[in-house]
Every structure is written in structure tokens, then in C-alpha cells.
Amino acid sequence: MTLEQIEAYSPSTGSGRAEKGALALYLHIPFCTAKCGYCDFNSYEGLDHLVPDYTPALIRELELWAPAARGHRVDTVFFGGGTPSLTSLDDLRAITDGIRRHYEVAPDAEWTLEANPTELTAGHLHGMRALGINRLSMGVQSMHPDELALLERAHTPERVEEAVREARAAGFDNLNLDLIFGLIRHTLGRWQETLERVLALEPEHLSCYALTVEPATALYYQVQKGLLPEPDPDVAADQYEWTRERLAAAGYEQYEISNWAKPGRACRHNLVYWRAEPYLGLGAGAHSFFIGRRLANVDAPNRYVEAITASYEQRQATGKSTMGQVAGGEVPDETTLRADAMILGLRLLEGVSTAEFAERFGIRIDDAFGPAMSGTRASGCSSGRVTGCGSRREDCCSRTRSSSTCCRTTSRQTREASDGGPGLSLRPLRA
């Protein structure tokens, strides 16, 4: 695929509302001090030698995509990983300057950066805030030292509390904390202790995910060898039900299966994914849904740097580029796009608007899916919205092992949705 093909592409009616409007940018920072045993994201330890070349490659990719993004306004920027908080302030400044130089950025854009408590310092936080980063997503996972050890997390509960205080002092007033329930040998009481301690920190947003033992992770091999038992889905279901009740009582609004926010503080970037709107992913392994195409960059950071360097040099020499960092892509047909809109939209408690679906795809939801709609809530259809996960336990999680799968596999749902192509990935689940 050449840059000329990208620029010349004319999207079909259903390929994405706001194709020449709002755009979300995702930038992948794949480096970690140590890779956690449960993690199957595209992240790496021991690649510090690549960091000096990686930031210039990201900036070059921003420049390579800029012609195709003309007419789009960037409303959200998300630095994910990996561990973006490892990025030096000089590198962050170069990247944020590159975004503003090559793209139209909304004055009220949401700029999120994922962070680990151990990598944050008061000086780094003040520097990030000065660069325009206005939202932090901190990987907390648990407030029990033994559970953090099981997950191979390096921080302590006390460091989490200290990092939150430092973030507040630096001017961050939009903070997400990531938590994991349904751990191995977990109990409802232990989860309640974690959540109560986190609520005392008064974050604006909480993401609560059930642990999944993903294939080829260190945790997976421990379970396969019988060194650890599998997580209990019934315990996870109990924890999830209690979480919904407790967070509602604390003033948080659940807007997605795994995400809660104070009023007006939902993650704008991830809403783009769940509403199947355009996003452009940059960096090693980043995925995109842009100009009607699903695209996936090469995973390995060294290969990504090499491909960007070659594409950029070709562009400089000839005015053309093969966009060699793109490892795969497709133009999904209308049937696939409709299915994506429903699969992702039903993760949201707002569901899918029947009117907007008909306007976007030129067909009614009932006509597009027929009998497949029997699992959705009838009340949603009568109100002009189709919803899948309601406010009652029986709508989302039951005590049976089969029904409680949704508690264990919130991440797997999106992975299964991506079987038709690379445009959907695990990445949209991080808030």
C-alpha cells in the first residue's frame, strides 16, 4: 500500500461516521522495565538500546500519515504500552510537538498517558502536565502486596497513594486507575478491601477488568503446569456484581462493561473504539481503523524502526512511500462493519442507536441481524437503542460458570471480534 493509494481512497457510506471529522490518535510505547506475567500486550523488556531510534520513528510516522489526515481534527491522543511513563520528557516533548505540527488538534483534546506508579516522579508529572498531557491512566491492579507479587507488579499500595498525591499536586484532575478482579485464589473480601482503598483516593475514572489467563504468557504456563489454579469465574461474578453496586453508590456511572466514571469523565478516546469511529494507531504493533481500512503495524520494535526509516527515506527521495511499517490491512465490507458496530456498541450501556445505525449503514438493525438480536434487551429497542448489558446481574453475569464468562473475558471479546481483520485489538480495552 502506497501513500498515494491511501490519499486517493474514497470511503464507502458505512466505513465510518465522521471520516472527515474527528480522529483519535493512539501512540504505542512498547518498552517496559519488566514484563508482567499476565500481560500479552505488545510490550518488551531489555530493549533500552532501541529507545533513541524509536521516538524519531514515531515522529516520522506522524509525518507520513499527515497528508491522509488532512480535514480531520484530533480530539483525543492516547499514549499506551508498554510503559509510556518511561518516556523521557525530551522525547515526550518531541512527540507532542510533532502531533501539533502535523495535525489539527482540538483545543479541548483529551491527552491520556498510561503510567506505572514506580516510574512516576513529581518532576516528571509536572513536566508531562506542562506538555499538555491532561489525563493519567495508572496501572494499580491491586492494593494487596501479595496479589501485586502474583501479578509481578513492582509497586506497593503505599506507592500508589503517593503517586496519586503527586499527580494531583502536578495539576492532574482527570485520573484513571486500572484494577484487576477475579485473581487466582481471590475472595470477595479481598477485592472489597482493594476497591475501598482506591475509592479513598477519589479518582475520576476506574477500569475494573477480570483476570484472563492469556495463552503464551508466564501466568498461562504456571497454570498449565499445575503450579497455580485457574481463576474462579463464580468468584469473579460475585465481585463484579458488588463492584457495580458499590461504585454506583459512590457516584460513579458505569458506561461500559469494565469502566466507570464520575459524571462527564468517561474516557473520550476509548469511546471512539466502542462507537466504531476512526482512529489512527502509530508505533510498533499499533492498529488503526482509518479511511475505511483496518490496518496493523509490524509488531517488533526493531522491524518497525527499520520500516519507518526506509519508508521515510523513500518519501524524501521520490515523494512516494510504501508505508512499509503497515504489516497487514483490509477494506472491510458492509456486513463486517455492521457487525463491528454492534459488537463494540453493545459493550456500552448506552448501546447502539437504531436511528444512527440506519443512517450510517442504510439498513435497520432488525433487518441487518434478524434472529441474532434475540439476545439483546427488548426495552432498548423500544426506546430507540439496542442494549446488551443491563443493570441487573442476570443481564451480564450469572452464578453459572457459562454465563459468568463475560466477567472473565472482557478482553477476549474484543480479540474474538478482531478475527475478521486487524482493525480491532486488545488495545481498545485500556482506559
Give the tens place of pLDDT for each residue, 267-297: 999 999 999 999 999 999 999 999 889 999 9
**84 lies in some domain:** yes
Q: Which residue has the cell 491532561?
A: 134
251 backbone dihedrals φ, ψ, rounded to 5°? 95, 15
Is omega for the bond preceding 390 within 30 degrees of 0, making it cis? no
**376 lies in some domain:** no
With beta carbons less than 8 A apart as the criterion, state whether 125 and 92 touch: no
**368 lies in some domain:** no
Q: How far apart are CA 33 and CA 46, in angstroms?
A: 7
Q: Over pLDDT 90: what percentage of the chain? A: 77
Burial 238-262 (b: 16+ CB within 10 A, else e): bbbbebbeebeeeebebbbbbbbbb
**Nearest partner of 84 among 43, 50, 141, judged by Cα:** 43
Confidence of residue 22 (pLDDT cuts 50, 70, 90): very high
Q: Which helix (DSSP H) or strand (DSSP E) does residue 164 occupy?
A: helix 157-169
Q: How far apart are CA 95 and CA 152, in angstroms?
A: 30
Q: Which residue has the cell 443491563?
A: 390
With beta carbons less than 8 A apart as the criterion, state whether 257 and 210 touch: no
For the record, the C-alpha cell of 155 comes out as 509497586
What spatial distance separates the first Cα and last Cα of the chain, rounded to whole Å?
31
* DSSP strands (E only) in 3-92: 22-29, 31-32, 44-45, 73-81
Amino acid at 373: M
Interior angle at CA 123, CA 117 and CA 125, nearest 5: 50
Give one DSSP letter per residue of 203-228, joined into a string.
-SEEEEEE----TTSHHHHHHHTTSS
Q: How many domains does the chain have?
A: 1
* Domain CATH for 143: 3.20.20
What is the overall mean pLDDT for the chain?
87
Q: Which residue has the cell 520500516?
A: 307
Lowest-confidence region among 38-42, 74-78, 202-206, 424-428: 424-428
Looking at residue 6, its pLDDT comes to 61
Tens of pLDDT, residues 289-298: 998 899 999 9
Q: How far apart are CA 230 and CA 218, in angstroms?
A: 13
Tens of pLDDT, residues 101-150: 999 999 999 999 999 999 999 999 999 999 999 999 999 999 999 999 99
Does position 177 have pLDDT exceeding 70, yes or no?
yes
**40 lies in some domain:** yes
Q: How far apart are CA 292 and CA 273, in angstroms?
A: 14
Looking at residue 385, its pLDDT comes to 87
Confidence of residue 383 (pLDDT cuts 50, 70, 90): low
**378 lies in some domain:** no
**383 lies in some domain:** no
* DSSP strands (E only) in 233-307: 253-256, 259-261, 279-282, 287-290, 293-297
**377 lies in some domain:** no
Does position 5 have pLDDT exceeding 80, yes or no?
no
Does position 421 have pLDDT exceeding 50, yes or no?
no
For the entire predicted model, the pTM comes to 0.88
Q: How far apart are CA 104 and CA 179, in angstroms?
A: 34
**175 lies in some domain:** yes
DSSP state of 383: T
Domain interval for residue 189? 1-351+388-431
